[in-house]
Amino acid sequence: MNERFVRVGDIELCYESLGDPEHPTVLLIMGLNLSMDWWRDDFCADLVARGFHVVRFDNRDVGRSTHVRGPGITAWEFLRRRAHPVYTLADMADDAAGLIAHVDQRGAHVVGASLGAMVAQEVAIRHPHRARSLVSIMGRPGDGRTGKVHWTRIPDFLRPPSADPVEGMVAAFRRIGSADRTAQDDEDVRLTMRRSMRRETGEGSSRQLAACVGERDRTADLGRLTLPALVLHGQRDRVIVPSGGRATAAAIPGAELLEVPGMGHDLARWVWPTVIDGIARTATRAEAATP
């Protein structure tokens, strides 16, 4: 990887820039406790081939970006939906906006998955001059009613660490992921998990989860957005159920809602063409509207 670093306030972010910087920038924001490695190399290469400059990065508390100090969230707090986060999703969005300012003064097409979708929404709300378009994948608006974890998936957040983290992650994606996952998808997880473990410098998943549980209701602010937006959600998602995507799309004026049959809470390879087409389509809407 061609890793680079930029300081945004007190946080140092590790990121990678792929493709021609003169092309429109797509910023990819990954989900809970997942490093930028989980935006797979082939996925990023496909976006580059579509004419984009792709930037992926480690959120704070993940990978080689700054790991902060402070408590996370207990199992009891998670079950009660009570959290006292040491930072918020808005803070994570400010990190992302600072990275956009560093890599492309024109702004970026902001794409987020799961927790990253909520962060991406905050980027669009808090930094409209940095976000040229928004793609929210597997997200929710934070209203406390929609996009909740299905009761069958709550144990996934309470499981002790697996004795074999690699195979444990394969099993996790089998539980929460899309229908028709293949052996190649499993091998992708093994390779990515080994790579991300080699790059990990700390443990921050509990603090990120606290930020997610403690999220604010963004519905009204989403209603004031004027940028092109796509909300993409899997109909099989039980980690953030599809009502979260529907409520997000309903909140954003003119947003496109795309529900994918068979898609769970993952990015299996068979979903990639739909996601990449959606990113390109949304970015094209924004580019056409830019003088």
pLDDT in the model for residue 76: 65
Contact residues for 245 (Cβ-Cβ < 8 A; gap 6+): 136, 138, 139, 140, 147, 231, 232, 233, 257, 259
Give the HSE-up count for residue 63: Cα atoms under 13 Å, Cβ half-sphere: 29
Q: What gap in Å lies between CA 256 and CA 271, rounded to an integer?
A: 17
- The total number of structural domains in the chain stands at 1
Q: For residue 24, how many other CB atoms are within 10 A of its CB?
A: 23
pLDDT in the model for residue 72: 81
pLDDT in the model for residue 73: 77
Domain assignment of residue 272, given as a range? 3-289
Q: Which two tokens stand for residue 217?
A: 């209701």
pLDDT in the model for residue 17: 98
End-to-end CA distance of the chain: 35
What is the reported pTM?
0.95
**CA-derived radius of gyration, the chain:** 17
pLDDT in the model for residue 71: 85
CATH number reported for the structural domain that contains residue 255 in this entry = 3.40.50.1820
pLDDT in the model for residue 158: 66
pLDDT in the model for residue 208: 93
pLDDT tens track, the chain, 291 positions: 789 999 999 999 999 999 999 999 999 999 999 999 999 999 999 999 999 999 999 999 999 999 999 888 777 677 777 788 899 999 999 999 999 999 999 999 999 999 999 999 999 999 999 999 999 999 999 999 999 888 777 777 767 777 899 999 999 999 999 999 999 999 999 999 999 999 988 887 889 999 999 899 999 999 999 999 999 999 999 999 999 999 999 999 999 999 999 999 999 999 999 999 999 999 999 988 766
DSSP string, 133-188: EEEEES-----SSSSPPPGGGHHHHHPPPPSSHHHHHHHHHHHHS-TT--HHHHHH
